Amino acid sequence: MNPMSLLAAFFVMGSQAAATPQPVFDVHVHLHRGETSAREYSARLEATGQRVSGYGAMWFGGPNHALQGKPDEIRANNDALIALAREHPGMLPVATVHPYDGEAALTELERVAAAGVKVLKIHPHTQRFDPDDARVLALVRRAGDVGIVVLMDNANVLPGDSQKLFNLALAAPRTQFIFAHLGGFDFRFWNILKAARTAEGLFGDNIYFDISAIVALVADSPLEEEFVWTIRNVGVDHVLLGSDYPQYSLEQNVDALDRLGLEDAEKAMISHENARKLFRLDDPS
């Protein structure tokens, strides 16, 4: 089979074999090597029979991709990913900027939004920025203005990770956020959202999570029941599934989700429906 058609063959409308009864949108895929990584990801889907409705693809990751002060390089890589998405059905391009580039970052954000990009990924740990910085707040507020969802790492590698992200979301209520990995092994913090929703005028309900990688680590562990409790407290309608490929595979995450003991309707929301609504996947624009 032509590598360009591998992913299309495993889309919902064309797949005969499936690992799960519902389609999956993989919100967290790293394509560190562009086209080569996209082909490898598609081949993995073919090998495992995993059915997908699409995936969110990002090009950067790791300490070599901090890229502060390199707006031209960031722009070129964003353009390469946007072009790649045109060749791969279902790929949702996830652009990036560096918040500390100030006006250059805001300009690039607006440019990719005009090109149809729906998601921006920024990573406090690998890009080496502080979420408390005023330039970060300016960037995420502008993202809300132009209708871009902001995906941020939340594995709690850095001290105060979840607390800082919570405060950032409170300060930018018009922006939709996805905090990746649901706080890692510090996921307990996010149960605060159940209380925050009771405070009038405090919380705009603009926080979503992906459970990429962490679900594979928690399933079948002593933490499993508390993790499910947390998913329900933050809101099943605000949780997305991802793989964190290539560090973890999609089937690892799907299998782990199936083992959590969630209801079928809850799994369907996490696997696909929430992404469809948040990313407006029925909207051709």
pLDDT of residue 84: 97
Q: Is the peptide bond before 246 cis (omega within 30 degrees of 0)?
A: yes
Query: Residue 223: is it exposed, middle or buried by C-beta count within 10 angstroms (0-12/13-18/19+)?
Result: middle
Q: Is the pTM of this model over 0.85?
A: yes
209: closest CA among 151, 145, 266?
151
Give the tens place of pLDDT for each residue, 113-154: 999 999 999 999 999 999 999 999 999 999 999 999 999 999
The CATH code that applies to domain 3-278 is 3.20.20.140
In tens, the pLDDT along 160-171 reads: 999 999 999 999
At residue 155, the pLDDT reads 96
pLDDT at 192 over 90: yes
Q: How much is the mean pLDDT over the chain?
A: 90
Q: Where are the beta strands (DSSP E) in 91-147?
A: 91-95, 119-122
Q: How confident is the model at residue 109 (pLDDT cuts 50, 70, 90)?
A: very high
The mean pLDDT of 4-10, rounded to a whole number, is 41
Distance (Å, whole) CA 242 – CA 251? 10
| pLDDT value of residue 2 | 43
The predicted structure's pLDDT at residue 14? 36
Q: Encode pLDDT of 38-92 as tens digits.
A: 999 999 999 988 889 999 999 876 555 667 879 999 999 999 999 999 999 899 9
- pLDDT reading at 1 higher than 50: no
Q: Say if residue 203's pLDDT is above 90.
A: no
Confirm if 21 and 84 have CB atoms less than 8 A apart. Answer: no
Domains of the chain: which residue ranges? 3-278
Average pLDDT score over residue span 195-223: 93
State what percent of residues in the chain have pLDDT above 90.
Answer: 80
